[in-house]
Amino acid sequence: MGANGESDTTDDRLFRGSLLLRQPARGHRAGTDAVLLAATAPPGARHILDLGASTGLVGLQVAKGRSEARVVLLERDPAMAALARHNITANGLTDRVSCREADAFALGREKDLREAFDLVLTNPPYFTPGRGRPSPDPVRRAAHQLDGDLDGWLRNAATVLAPGGEIVMIHRADALGDVLAAMARRFGRLAFRFVHPRAPEPAHRVLVSGKKGSRQGLTILPPVILFEGDRPTDLSAALHDGHALLPMRPEQE
């Protein structure tokens, strides 16, 4: 309980009640970014890492929809990791999902994770020191401003990804230059899908996927539009209900 007697967490039901998620009552809470990222998981992935998992929405949603998937939620913050473990149990996924406390910028130390995954899903820190407006909430600020940069985050992600494995990331659209540079150093077969709040408005997020060891080129996939006026688009509503996917391979379009 908080100092004012109110609970520090809430127990929420997402995807029309199919996913239970205990998360902080204020600050860093699961949102549309995590919903979109969870919908990108390609079929056939069996060993999946949710890198920077927070309370676990992405990895848990993927595991619930794929009985063959084995998922690790990797989170460095002990309080968030504790909530993630609670959520694994609450959703009945202890046989296929686990939580690992580790620093995403030091995965080289985790020898048992080297090249252990065929899919990495990640919603990395969006802000680096000196760029963007820091959040007043300390937990949210810690989640978005870590002691590293996007290149270091993806370098570490590559160490745990098996040859031929895939990574899918969501990031700020205005960081596209950094995203492209960091991804292209380590992955091929890049595919981008831009996310727009509304059709006339600029993209505010970008989903990007890549394949380790590939030399294939770059593809721009159709955009995601979240709202028509004040109403969610049909696709946005279906994604938040857990009834739609966002394939990141051109052949799956």
CATH label of the domain that carries residue 108: 3.40.50.150
The two beta strands, 47-51 and 117-122, are: parallel
pLDDT-based confidence at residue 58 (cuts at 50, 70, 90): very high
Residue 1 lies in a domain: no
Residue 250 is predicted with a pLDDT of: 74
Nearest to 144 by CA among 128, 160, 130, 158: 128
2 lies in some domain: no
**Within a 10 A sphere around the Cβ of 28, how many other Cβ atoms?**
20
Q: Quick check: 134 pLDDT over 80?
A: no
User: Given this model, what pLDDT does residue 138 score?
Assistant: 52
Confidence of residue 119 (pLDDT cuts 50, 70, 90): very high
Percent of the chain with pLDDT over 70: 88
Residue 157 domain-assigned (yes or no) = yes
Q: Are strands 205-212 and 161-172 parallel, antiparallel or unpaired?
A: antiparallel
Please state, for a pLDDT cut of 90, what percent of the chain lies above it. 83
Q: How many CA atoms lie within 13 A of 71 on its CB side?
A: 30
pLDDT at 43: 86
Look at residue 129 and tell me whether its pLDDT is greater than 60.
no
Nearest to 119 by CA among 42, 220, 228: 42
Neighbours of 142 (CB within 10 A): 16
Q: What range does the domain containing 66 cover? A: 9-248
Residue 8 makes CB contacts below 8 A (sequence gap 6+) with 1, 2, 24, 25
**Whole-angstrom distance, CA of residue 81 vs CA of residue 86:** 9
Two tokens at 38?
């969870």
pLDDT at position 253 is: 59
| Nearest CA-CA partner of 218 in 231, 209, 227 | 209
- 130 pLDDT exceeds 60? no
Q: What is the mean pLDDT of residues 44-64?
A: 97
**Structure confidence at residue 128 (pLDDT):** 53
How many structural domains are present in the chain? 1
- Span 12-38, average pLDDT: 95
Mean pLDDT of 150-159: 97
CB contact at 8 A, 200 and 239: no
**Angle at CA of residue 26, ends 203 and 38, nearest 5°:** 45
- Residue-averaged pLDDT of the chain: 90
Q: Is residue 174 in some structural domain?
A: yes
Look at residue 253 and tell me if it is in a domain.
no
Whether residue 38 has pLDDT greater than 80? yes
pLDDT band at residue 5 under the 50/70/90 scheme:
very low
Is it the case that residue 189 has pLDDT exceeding 70? yes
- CA-to-CA distance for 113 and 161, rounded, in angstroms? 9
Q: Are 41 and 74 spatial neighbours (Cβ–Cβ below 8 Å)? A: no
Distances (CA, A) of 200 to 121, 170, 193, 220: 29, 21, 16, 18
- Structure confidence at residue 143 (pLDDT): 47
| 3 occurs within a structural domain | no
Note the Cα 153 to chain centre separation in Å.
Answer: 13
pLDDT of residue 27: 84
**Lowest-pLDDT range, 2-6, 52-56, 79-83, 199-203?**
2-6
Q: CA 248, CA 207: separation in Å to the nearest integer? A: 8
Q: How many other C-beta atoms lie within 10 A of the C-beta of residue 30?
A: 21
* Type and span of the H or E element at 204: none
Judged against a pLDDT cut of 80, whether residue 139 lies above it is answered with no
| Assessment of whether the complete model's pTM goes beyond 0.75 | yes
Identify the weakest region by mean pLDDT among 55-59, 67-71, 142-146, 210-214.
142-146
Predicted confidence (pLDDT) at residue 201 exceeds the cutoff of 80: yes
